[in-house]
């Protein structure tokens, strides 16, 4: 990003929720010229907007309202059922995998709305490090508004099948590797690759997650037929495929 000035910067921060994984948070950041770092001067909610002397745009207000829909209080009101108090609700969500997954799906749908708005209006994202108050300029992430496309690669090597994923973005001009990427949402799939955030509307992030830490997956000869029937044929009919 360009060198920031002293004005507050409306941003979307990627934080880690104690129960539900990565979430977006709308915040105002102020640049500190002394240490060349940003610091948050306020996490934003609909009730708090008037407290800040900042010219919020209509799209920024909409993002704040959307994020507020998965605040702890809102989640408790929506999903508490027989859980009773807020601590009881979060204890239930923590210990019940089905409840946790259901709520996470709800959160991710709202996060996609925020992502699309932020990408359209070129709102910066920042990766927030845990237990650290300041945010470095190089933690700024750019959101790509155009959905990226996964490319499935299959290669027969000796008797085994090697399988890996890459991605194509900006109409095929950007060729991306998932290695060392960072999965933000599963479905819809949002992923950080280097300094950019990409949306994949046609693939679940669970299919991508193995390739964040290794370049390919090896399918043993004895499993190839089963793997072809269960996965490869589906990939061929709905995604770009490169085979050797």
Q: Profile the chain (244 residues) by mean pLDDT over runs of 10 residues.
A: 73 93 95 83 91 93 98 92 83 89 95 96 90 84 87 80 78 66 88 89 78 80 76 70 70
CA distance 195 to 19: 26
The two counts, helices (H) then strands (E), for the chain are 7, 14
* 3-class secondary-structure state, position 84: coil
Q: What is the structure's pLDDT at 208? A: 79
Q: What is the structure's pLDDT at 66? A: 98
**Burial class (CB within 10 angstroms; exposed 0-12, middle 13-18, buried 19+) of 189:** buried
Q: Mind giving me the DSSP string for 41-65?
A: EEE--GGGGGGS-----HHHHHHHH
Q: What is the structure's pLDDT at 229? A: 73
Torsion of CA 208, 211, 215, 217, to 10 degrees: -80
Q: What is the structure's pLDDT at 243? A: 67
Q: What is the structure's pLDDT at 226? A: 79
């Amino acid at each position: 990003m360009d060198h920031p000035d002293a004005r507050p910067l409306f941003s979307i921060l990627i934080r880690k929720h104690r129960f539900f994984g990565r979430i977006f948070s709308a915040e105002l950041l102020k640049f500190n010229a002394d240490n060349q770092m940003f610091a948050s001067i306020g996490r934003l909610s609909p009730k708090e907007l008037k407290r800040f002397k900042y010219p919020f745009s209509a799209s920024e207000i909409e993002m704040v309202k959307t994020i507020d829909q998965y605040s702890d209080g809102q989640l408790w009101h929506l999903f508490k059922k027989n859980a009773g108090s807020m601590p009881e609700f979060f204890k239930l969500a923590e210990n019940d995998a089905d409840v946790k997954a259901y709520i996470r799906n709800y959160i991710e749908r709202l996060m996609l709305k925020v992502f699309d708005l932020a990408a359209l209006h070129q709102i910066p994202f920042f990766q927030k490090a845990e237990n650290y108050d300041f945010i470095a300029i190089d933690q700024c992430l750019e959101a790509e508004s155009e959905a990226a496309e996964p490319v499935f690669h299959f290669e027969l090597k000796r008797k085994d099948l090697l399988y890996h994923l890459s991605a194509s973005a900006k109409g095929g001009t950007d060729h991306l590797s998932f290695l060392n990427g960072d999965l933000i949402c599963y479905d819809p799939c949002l992923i950080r690759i280097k300094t950019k955030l990409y949306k994949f509307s046609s693939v679940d992030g669970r299919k991508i997650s193995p390739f964040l830490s290794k370049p390919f997956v090896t399918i043993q000869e004895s499993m190839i037929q089963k793997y072809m029937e269960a996965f490869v044929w589906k990939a061929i009919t709905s995604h770009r495929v490169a085979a050797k």
